[in-house]
Structure 1
Amino acid sequence: MTVLRSLLLFGAAALLEIGGAWLVWQGLREHRGWLWVGAGVIALGLYGAVATLQPDASFGRILAAYGGVFVAGSLLWGMVVDGFRPDRWDVLGALVCLGGVAIIMYAPRTS
């Protein structure tokens, strides 16, 4: 159950961070306005709060592992929201990153 909770939190964090960054991008680069930027800033702040809910207590480990989730999630966001089509190297890179997430977060450790 702890792994499932952790994975769901990574998914929520990715949605908030990538979505927040996208909202800021839309507000500034696509001239949609400061309301979009403000919504993005709120989402980015919520991302930081969600990250604290991870079962592991190590900030460095959580953030390092989340980096891999961010890579894969960004490609997925681009596909769903912006019509981006990753090539095989994008997919391979994302899989390597997710493998890193699995090792960092879920490998057996001796304390």
Structure 2
Amino acid sequence: MNDGWSPVPGHDRWGAGPTSALAEAVGLVERAIDGLRASGDVEWEARAAALYRAAVAETLQALVRDRELLDATVRQARACQAMSFGHSDRPEQARSAAVPYPDGGRPW
């Protein structure tokens, strides 16, 4: 296993003694921890971004469906209104049967 490789160029990992080698090992482990944390953060951010994009797309699809339903409802309401009001030339005949006198008054 001891191939003489040193993480610091120009230094022999065993030549300066065990304390120096352990210090280099600590530095390598710290850099590895930092690298893993950074990659974990990137992965988490990428996953969070993917989840956010999926949620936005789902919400957009729901809004598009809602808009289509509203458009259909408006068309249906207009058709109903045209059927009940379209054939009347006098405003008093154009009142709805459900609320014949919206002001609460009586026809007499």
State if a TM-score over 0.5 links the two structures.
Answer: no
Structure with the greater alpha carbon radius of gyration = 2
- Smaller-chain TM-score range? under 0.3
TM-score by length of 2: 0.25
TM-score by length of 1: 0.24
The one of the two structures with greater contact order (alpha-carbon pairs below 8 A, sep at least 6) is 1
